[in-house]
Amino acid sequence: MSAIRSWIRRRSRFRTVPGRLTFWHAGTLAISLGAFATFVLIVRASSLHREFDTDLSARAAALAAEIAPLLDRLDPAAALHEQAAIGALPVMIRHADGRPVFRATAFPPLAGEWELAARQGAVNRLAFQTVRDESREEQRIVNRRFSSPSGVPYVLQLMAHPAGVDQSIHELAAAQAFGLLVVLVIATCVSTLTARRTLAPIEEIIRRGSEIRAHDLGKRLEVEADTVELEQLVRSLNDLLERVEQPVHSAQQFAANVSHELQTPLTAMRFAIESAQRSGRTAERYREIADDLLAEIDRMSTLIRDLRLLALAGARQLVAEPEPFDLGDVLQQCCEIARAVADSKHITIAEDGGPGVIVTGSALHLRRVILNLTDNAILYSPPNSVVSVRMWCEDGVAQITVSDRGCGIAAADVPKIFDAFFRADRARARDTGGSGLGLAIAEQIVRAHHGRITVDSELNEGSIFTVSLPAERTEPGEAPARQVAVSACQPAWSRQ
């Protein structure tokens, strides 16, 4: 079977689906029809032989009845020879022990050993036997036992050549072979045509698919599929194109945004350098230009650091060596830093939550997430307002919320808030100096910790950012276990 398969694989014609379908279809049909024809041939041949034997046996019985009275004569052989009709038949009369009594001239001499076989057949009471005559042709003999009127037992051997039976069998075999050939030719043609017709849309799909290039991923395969499977194929290929298009589009957008973000500080630096080149600058002015240049270099360094972080997150290498740590401690440190920042705007940081919530991952990265949320909350809140930072742990999930009573985010902007380089209000964002990467990085960090980050916001009312992370609560004074695996306390949603 494997040899057939490798042969089929080698033959290029059988590497096409219609070729293969036709081959298997015609092959299966040929084998089953061939088996059926053989069966019919065997059944028909045995019935023809049976009919032939029955006829021979009936003729022998009639002949025996005719001959029996002649055998009680003094010279039965001479009496039989006088009967011209009997002499013209291939008949032989033997004693019960096989000795010949009479042999008609029409009874042909048999080839060497077959003469003895015919005698043995008569002695052994074989009903029928097949022997070969001198020309090695098959002859059928019926051995009919009978007695003369005086009760002496004899055997009558009547011979016949089964030529009619053989010819009928040959004719039947030839007719079957011809019929089989015609059926196979018709089946092969129909199978090839049907396979080609059925698979024609696949060729169309291949043609259209090969026309789609990287720059026109927005194209879809519009192929008329008339079977459920082809419909599913077209749909799944279109779904695949859609899935590929989105990240490719995002990557292109991302590259455009990166170049734009890098262009801004570079332009500012160029402007500063050009103004320094002009003569007649005081030392004080040079110092100012140098400060501007350093500020722009800082902006660029921060941007490049953030981009590297995003790239690491994309490659799932953000948290290289996860360690268990107390999230409560990290939260306290972040609140201290936030208070220092919030002081100038007279904003109060209301903190609720203490140590004892153990998370496995990177304390440094999660610290960045919380600081980003508190920085934004302070930035977008009016002076003299309150920013609340809360943390609690429930059913293996640590929840951190940072809420403010600031400008809020428009409903249309909420779904885009975690996209890289997104700023809800570009003009205002430029003033604040943010690159729009803060929340995108925060989301990647939280994801790398098998958690999620969500926002609930209303324009001019304020925003609540919630970070959910798999965690464990320890008893007061208990040190975080160093070997806690993230998955050990992972809630169901984080494993998706």
Interface positions with ligand ADP (CB under 6 A): 372, 376-377, 380, 404, 406-409, 417, 422-425, 429, 434-440, 463
Q: Which is nearer to ligand ADP, 338 or 417 (CB)?
A: 417
Q: Which is nearer to ligand ADP, 207 or 430 (CB)?
A: 430
CA distance 37 to 46: 14
Which residues have a Cβ under 8 Å from the Cβ of 199 and sit 6 or more positions away? Answer: 17, 18
User: Among residues 493, 465, 308, 459, which one has the least CA distance to residue 401?
Assistant: 465
Order across the sheet with 397-404: list the strands: 348-352, 386-394, 397-404, 462-470, 452-458
The nearest distance, CB 368 to ligand ADP, in angstroms, is: 11
Q: Which is nearer to ligand ADP, 46 or 250 (CB)?
A: 250
Q: What is the dihedral of CA 352, 355, 359, 361, to 10 degrees?
A: 100
Q: Which is nearer to ligand ADP, 159 or 467 (CB)?
A: 467
Both tokens of 249, joined, read 């589009």
Q: Which is nearer to ligand ADP, 247 or 382 (CB)?
A: 382
The nearest distance, CB 266 to ligand ADP, in angstroms, is: 19
Give the Cα-Cα-Cα angle 39, 41, 47 (nearest 5 degrees). Answer: 105
Order across the sheet with 472-473: list the strands: 323-326, 357-361, 472-473
Residue type, 257: N
The nearest distance, CB 459 to ligand ADP, in angstroms, is: 9
Q: Which is nearer to ligand ADP, 309 or 440 (CB)?
A: 440
**Residue at shortest CB range from ligand ADP:** 434
CA distance 471 to 326: 10
Q: Please answer whether residues 231 and 221 qualify as being in contact, where contact means their C-beta atoms are separated by less than 8 angstroms.
A: no
DSSP annotation of 449 reads T
3-state secondary structure of 357: strand
The nearest distance, CB 337 to ligand ADP, in angstroms, is: 16
The nearest distance, CB 301 to ligand ADP, in angstroms, is: 15
User: Among residues 210, 221, 299, 292, which one has the least CA distance to residue 261?
Assistant: 299
Half-sphere CA count of 388, side-chain side, radius 13 A: 11
Q: Which is nearer to ligand ADP, 142 or 377 (CB)?
A: 377
The nearest distance, CB 371 to ligand ADP, in angstroms, is: 11
Q: Which is nearer to ligand ADP, 306 or 472 (CB)?
A: 306
CA distance 316 to 448: 7
The nearest distance, CB 401 to ligand ADP, in angstroms, is: 12
The nearest distance, CB 421 to ligand ADP, in angstroms, is: 8
The nearest distance, CB 263 to ligand ADP, in angstroms, is: 17
Q: Which is nearer to ligand ADP, 129 or 403 (CB)?
A: 403
Helix (H) or strand (E) holding 91: strand 91-95
